[in-house]
Structure 1
Amino acid sequence: MKRFQRPLSYALLVAPLALAACSSGNSDDNLPTNNLEIRLQDAPGDFQSVVLDVRQIEIHQKEEGDPDGWRLLPFQAQPINVLDYVNGRSALLVSTDFDPGKLKEIRLLLGPDNYVVGRDGQRYDLKTPSGQSSGVKLKLSKQSLHQLPGTYQLLLDFDVAKSVVERGNWKPGNDKKERYLLKPVIRVLAQDIKGGLRGTVTPAAALPQVLAIRSSITPADTFSTSADVAGAYQLGALPSGTYRVEFFPSTTAPTNQASYKRITRTGITVTNDQVTDLGSTSLQ
């Protein structure tokens, strides 16, 4: 498999993640083999498509900085439109046997064909900052993975709105390849974080965006998504806590209708293992 020579490097949460496994003896030969699943979901931005040219996925299981700690996972190189995986949907990227031990980092190696399709229907290449060659590195947080019949599940939560950055000096008529930079913002979550929010926003024609802001911590955490064509939305893998949920239109109302409004709901409680249903929220 050909490796792209200049993929992006981006490091997040800094503590190693321990994968606990039972042993039936003192020999390494007696350690059980578990299954590792890696999934991708998206918190979308204002685009029709956001396509990542994912070439390889690797994990690191040795001490930080050890170049021999990387293991290539079985993954078919492919373009992935992350906007296909919103409102509770996720893409299964990897499912493979996994030896017990410590999983400290994940690395995505990207090819050169990353791009977005804007609301104007135009394709714009996604440029990655120069001088970076070690891949999109994601360090894992200090949290225990939930083991479901021998399966460890990790969710890569890709935030499009924060990851696709428009150059400040770009203007219509300039080279389309120079409009956007790709600076991935990706949370790595254990799938046992099952808290969530769902509901509907009307009118769906407002193309509603949804922000869930966990105000019970400092600094506040922000999670985002957008409603589908029916106005439905769902945010998954939310830590428990108290949230402020903001709903806002991404377009304007027709001249013969009332203007769309931005709505804020406060004091929303999210509990692990439960999805809080907020019902219907009107922007008019």
Structure 2
Amino acid sequence: MKFSTLFSLSLLAGLGLAGCSKDNSSDNSGNAKLEVRLTDAPGDFSRVSLDVQQIEVHLKDANDPTGWQFLPFTPQAINVLDYVNGRSALLVSTDFAAGDLKEIRLILGPNNTVTTRDGEVYTLKTPSGQTSGVKLKLDKVTLRQGEAFQLLLDFDVAKSIVERGNWKAGNDKKERFLLKPVIRLVAQDVAGGLYGQVTPAAALPQILAIRSSLTVADTFSTSADATGAFKLQALPAGTYRVELYPTTTAPANESAYKPVTVNGVVVTNNRATDLGALKLN
């Protein structure tokens, strides 16, 4: 099988992997259970379609070209904006030999597109420097016999799609946007989360969770749904500042929608922190 475009995962946080459940069946034959999921941090587009052809992991030393192994995956186009606010797409679920994983990468086909808010569809152009792929190592990733593991690929649309500054309407549509994937890789079973409820729901805010306990802050984002509910999962433990920004304007007969900031939100492993009801007016 031949693929036209090869991308690695831009790793925004270190990865430590631990077992999330035991599988004591006798027919494992030394295997672990490996699951790979995709979720998304939203961006200002109506659709982002990735032509995902294959997912690979590397099992040997970095310089050994024989170390790559395909994971069982059906090639498909995935609208990553379908998987925000706690939702995720199951990409891989398989029995896998226990041992260390050294690297992971996605192989994408040529049919990656972005649809802007006005309904225009643009091909996502691949920078020439990324067509051969950039391999990134995974630190401390060990699959243990009889245990199940989940890897979450958190695709950041806002950072991954770059608009050319010199593009103008009427130019070649293929030249407007570049695809430079930024994907945070997280072990789901060792991560925390936070959730809450916004009123009025019509404010449709974007939510930023900024890990302020780091010297260089790390930011995660989602948006509230039509009921005002929001959820961020697979967050590393730490102290966060949560910022909510309305994306709509209040009707003339209602109080104006206002941004809200919640400081000192503590996220711990394997626990979802409830922020409760948050009023934006």
Tell me the TM-score normalised to structure 1 length: 0.86
Report whether the alignment pairs 1:3 with 2:17: no
Q: Kindly tell me: are residues 183 and 234 of structure 1, through their superposed partners in 2, closer, same or farther at Cα, counting changes over 3 Å?
A: same
User: Which of 150, 160, 163 matches 1:163?
Assistant: 160
1:244 aligns to what SS in structure 2?
strand
1:51 to 46, 49, 52: 49
Structure 2 counterpart of 1:199, which letter? G
* 1:176 alignment partner, one of 168, 173, 176: 173
Q: Distance in 2 between matches of 1:249 and 1:138?
A: 36
Amino acid at match of 2:233: G
SS across alignment from 1:192? helix
Partner-residue secondary structure (3-state), 1:156: strand
Evaluate the alpha carbon distance shift between residue 118 and residue 15 of structure 1 in structure 2; reply closer, same or farther with a 3 A threshold.
closer
Offset of 1:51 from its aligned partner?
A: 0.9
The separation in 1 between residues aligned to 2:104 and 2:261, in whole angstroms, is: 36
Unmatched tracts of structure 1, length 5 or more: 21-29
Unmatched tracts of structure 2, length 5 or more: 20-27
Equivalent residue, structure 1, for 2:272: 275
TM-score, scaled to structure 2: 0.87
Q: Structure 1 stretch 151-160 or stretch 171-180: which is displaced more?
A: 171-180
- Secondary structure of the corresponding residue to residue 170 of structure 1: coil
- Where does residue 26 of structure 1 map in the other structure? none
Contact 1:57 1:108 in 2 (8 A): yes
Residues 215, 243 of structure 1: 8 Å contact kept: yes
Matches within 5 A, 1:173-252: 173-252=170-249
Q: Which residue does the alignment assign to 1:115?
A: 113
Structure 2: which amino acid aligns with 1:126?
L
**Aligned residue in 2 for 1:27:** none
Are the equivalent residues in 2 in contact too, given 1:18–1:102 (CA < 8 A)?
no
Task: Map residues 88-99 of structure 1 onto 2, 5 A cutoff.
Answer: 88-99=86-97
Secondary structure (helix, strand or coil) at the match of 1:8 reads strand
Amino acid of the residue matched to residue 2 of structure 2? K
| Percent identical | 65
Kept after mapping to 1: 8 A contact 2:47/2:115: yes
- CA shift, 1:34, in A, is 1.6
Report the alpha carbon displacement of residue 260 of structure 1 after superposing the two structures with TM: 2.5
Contact preservation (8 Å) 1:16, 1:139:
no
Tell me if structure 2 keeps the 8 A contact 1:214–1:241: yes
Deviation at 1:250, TM superposition (A): 2.6
Which SS does the other structure have where 2:6 is aligned?
coil
AA paired with 1:8?
A: F
- Change over 3 Å in CA distance of 1:224–1:275 after alignment to 2: same
Residue 65 of structure 1 corresponds to which residue in structure 2? 63
For the residues of structure 2 that align with 1:84 and 1:17, how far apart are their CA atoms?
Answer: 27
Q: Is the 8 A contact 1:16 1:102 kept in 2?
A: no
Equivalents in 1 of 2:207, 2:142: separation in Å? 29
- Root-mean-square deviation (CA, aligned residues, Å) is 2.6
Q: Do 1:50 and 1:81's aligned partners in 2 also have CA atoms closer than 8 Å?
A: yes
Residues paired across the two proteins, number: 273
Question: Structure 1 residues 180 and 158 mapped into 2: Cα distance closer, same or farther (>3 Å)?
Answer: same
Matching of residues 254-265 of structure 1 within 5 Å: 254-255=251-252, 257-265=254-262
Give the AA of the match of 2:272: V
Q: Which moved more, 1:225-234 or 1:197-206?
A: 197-206
Who is 1:25 aligned against?
Answer: none
Superposed displacement of residue 161, structure 1: 1.4
Q: How far, CA to CA, are the matches of 1:161 and 1:103 in structure 2?
A: 28
